[in-house]
Amino acid sequence: MTQYAILLYTPAPADMADMPVEEQEAHMRHAAEAEDLGGHVVTGFALQPSTTATSVRADTVTDGPFIEAKEVIAGFYILEAQDLDHALQIAKRNPATWRGGVEIRPLLG
């Protein structure tokens, strides 16, 4: 199986803690749904709000996220799937698609 990073985006400056309880619970159920669809969630994490980010560009360190954006990365997980189509089938069911988005990237190596 191929491993994919699934990046979960929410509208800025929202974060996972701002989500209604029902939506947070839906995120937790998504891992079980991935297993039901033949995938496997290896690991995953919600991130602290983007306001806690520190960015490094060359030798300059600044507070805040790397770029200004309408959406921020709220969390991620690593998914094992048969192929990209299989990963897409699973990712489309992720609750992050309700008000933000999901980005899928195969891992190198």
Banded model confidence at residue 14, pLDDT cuts 50, 70, 90: low
Pick 44 or 13 by higher pLDDT: 44
* Under 8 Å between Cβ of 1 and 81: yes
**Confidence grade of residue 105 (pLDDT, cut at 50, 70, 90):** very high
Number of domains forming the structure of the chain:
1
CATH of the domain at 52: 3.30.70.1060
- Cβ neighbours, 10 Å, residue 35: 12
Q: How does 8-23 read in b/e, with b if 16+ C-beta sit within 10 Å?
A: bbbebebbbeebeeee
pLDDT in tens, 48-102: 888 888 888 888 887 766 666 677 888 899 999 999 999 999 999 988 888 888 9
Domain containing 75: what range?
2-106
- This prediction's pTM: 0.81
- Between 50 and 36, the more confident residue is 36
